[in-house]
């Protein structure tokens, strides 16, 4: 038994039009869902770059700030491993992205003309780490110290190719000077929690800190 063409044709055409409309709408819906930056993890809050971003990166700009070129290992301050993850809002590792940090030496001086060029030449002061396939990055540096009214902090910037994805600052959990810091005070409770991490004493000496970074990529 066959259906009369005059009977089925209008229904088939209408159904086809519906299917075509759905097919056109579907990618839009998928794109909308994937484009929601807060659909998954909360994005790491941004903070000001501050006045001491390196004017020129040192020849040695690797992830070990305790050894600057051929100089002897920096012996001041308290050594720390600062590491973490870098993912997008959906938890995907941003392999190949670069995390930059810069901070003052143990006496509170930056390698920057604006800070009088007083920083210890044996402290690298700034470094870069490339994010691996698991989204991990890692630095060797010193536990940050206070200077000029600022609570201890480390500046961070995240780059992916030519794009700058985030500039922010990391703080020490339990540091009394945080409460008096004008930039830390501006953060919401949730943003303070995202940027303020414990510096835990490690069995082999020094400190360890972990910061998960989430960016819209
Ligand atoms: Fe600073």
pLDDT at 40: 72
Query: Cα 201 from chain centroid?
Result: 23
**Strand 126-130 vs strand 98-102: parallel, antiparallel, or unpaired?**
antiparallel
Give me ligand 1 centre to Cα 203, in Å: 29
Give me ligand 1 centre to Cα 8, in Å: 74
In the three-class reduction of DSSP (H, G, I as helix; E, B as strand; rest coil), residue 13 is classed as: helix
10 Å CB burial of residue 169 (0-12, 13-18, 19+) is: buried
Q: How much is the average pLDDT of 110-136?
A: 96
Give me ligand 1 centre to Cα 160, in Å: 23
Give me ligand 1 centre to Cα 104, in Å: 7
Give me ligand 1 centre to Cα 51, in Å: 8
Give me ligand 1 centre to Cα 52, in Å: 7
Which ranges constitute the DSSP H helices of the chain?
5-35, 182-185, 189-195
pLDDT at 212: 98
Give me ligand 1 centre to Cα 109, in Å: 9
pLDDT digits (tens, 9 = 90+) for 62-71: 999 999 999 9
Banded model confidence at residue 39, pLDDT cuts 50, 70, 90: low
Contact between 105 and 112 (Cβ < 8 Å): no
Q: How much is the average pLDDT of 75-83?
A: 97
Give me ligand 1 centre to Cα 154, in Å: 7
Question: What global pTM score does this model have?
Answer: 0.81
Task: State the distance between the two ends of the chain, measured CA to CA, in whole angstroms.
Answer: 58
pLDDT at 46: 98
């Amino acid at each position: 038994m066959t259906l009369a063409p005059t009977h089925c044709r209008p229904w088939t055409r209408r159904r086809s039009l519906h299917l075509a409309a759905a097919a056109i709408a579907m990618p839009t819906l998928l794109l909308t869902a994937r484009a929601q930056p807060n659909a998954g993890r909360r994005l790491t809050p941004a903070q000001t770059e501050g006045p001491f971003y390196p004017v020129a990166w040192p020849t040695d700009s690797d992830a070990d700030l305790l050894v600057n070129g051929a100089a002897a290992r920096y012996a001041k301050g308290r050594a720390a491993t600062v590491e973490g993850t870098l993912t997008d809002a959906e938890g995907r590792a941003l392999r190949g992205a670069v995390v930059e940090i810069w901070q003052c030496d143990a006496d509170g001086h930056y390698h920057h003309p604006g800070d009088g060029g007083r920083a210890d030449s044996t402290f690298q002061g700034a470094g870069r780490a490339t994010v691996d396939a698991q989204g991990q990055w890692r630095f060797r540096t010193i536990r940050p110290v206070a200077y000029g009214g600022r609570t201890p902090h480390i500046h961070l910037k995240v780059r992916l190719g030519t794009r700058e994805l985030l500039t922010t600052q990391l703080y020490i959990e339990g540091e009394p000077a945080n409460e008096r810091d004008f930039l830390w005070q501006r953060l919401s409770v949730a943003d303070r929690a995202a940027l303020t991490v414990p510096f835990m004493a490690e069995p082999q000496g020094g400190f360890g800190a972990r910061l998960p970074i989430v960016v819209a990529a």
